[in-house]
């Protein structure tokens, strides 16, 4: 059974935002060695979460891990994403799908900020 990772972004009308999301997904694919890694967006861009789940299932995923690429615990993270996850679980009751915490809540975020600041400082 393949494990898929869907990196869930807010979404933007700016074309560069999609390119950055695709680059992050490609790097996660290389580093994580998951069966499938793809992106999804809450708004302004495609695919949405439901479409990304369909893609993962078509590619043979039996387990899906959704990683919300959000820094703050706002309404999208605390309300919108759980509602979408419930919708997917009802549509695919035999699918194993879980969501991690928001990326911004991870302890390594401080390391990233320090690294970025030091790159400019030096």
C-alpha to C-alpha distances, 67 to 85, 97, 113, 120, nearest whole angstrom: 12, 11, 20, 29
Domain count, the chain: 1
Question: What pLDDT digit, counting tens, does each position of 38-48 carry?
Answer: 999 999 999 99
Higher pLDDT, 114 or 1: 114
Look at the block and give the residue holding tokens 């700016």.
14
Question: Taking residues 56-83, what's their average pLDDT?
Answer: 95
Where in the sequence is the domain holding 40, given as residue range(s)?
2-121
Q: Which of the four pLDDT bands, split at 50, 70 and 90, describes residue 15?
A: confident
What pTM was estimated for this model as a whole?
0.93
Residue 63 sits in a domain of what CATH number?
3.40.50.1400
Q: Residue 122's pLDDT is what?
A: 65
Question: Taking residues 83-97, what's their average pLDDT?
Answer: 96
Structure tokens that stand for 108 in this block: 């390594």
Round to whole Å and give the CA distance between 119 and 121: 6
Give me the percent of the chain exceeding a pLDDT of 90. 90
Q: Residue 30's pLDDT is what?
A: 95
């Amino acid at each position: 059974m393949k494990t898929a990772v869907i990196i869930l972004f807010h979404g933007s009308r700016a074309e560069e935002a999609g390119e950055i999301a695709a680059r992050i997904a490609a790097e996660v694919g290389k580093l994580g060695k998951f069966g499938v890694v793809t992106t999804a967006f809450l708004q302004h861009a495609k695919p949405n979460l439901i479409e990304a789940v369909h893609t993962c299932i078509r590619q043979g995923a039996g387990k899906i891990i959704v990683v919300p690429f959000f820094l703050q615990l706002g309404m999208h993270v605390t309300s919108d994403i759980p509602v979408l996850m419930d919708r997917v679980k009802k549509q695919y009751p035999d699918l194993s799908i879980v969501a991690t915490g928001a990326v911004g809540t991870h302890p390594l975020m401080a390391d990233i900020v320090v690294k970025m600041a030091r790159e400019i400082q030096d």
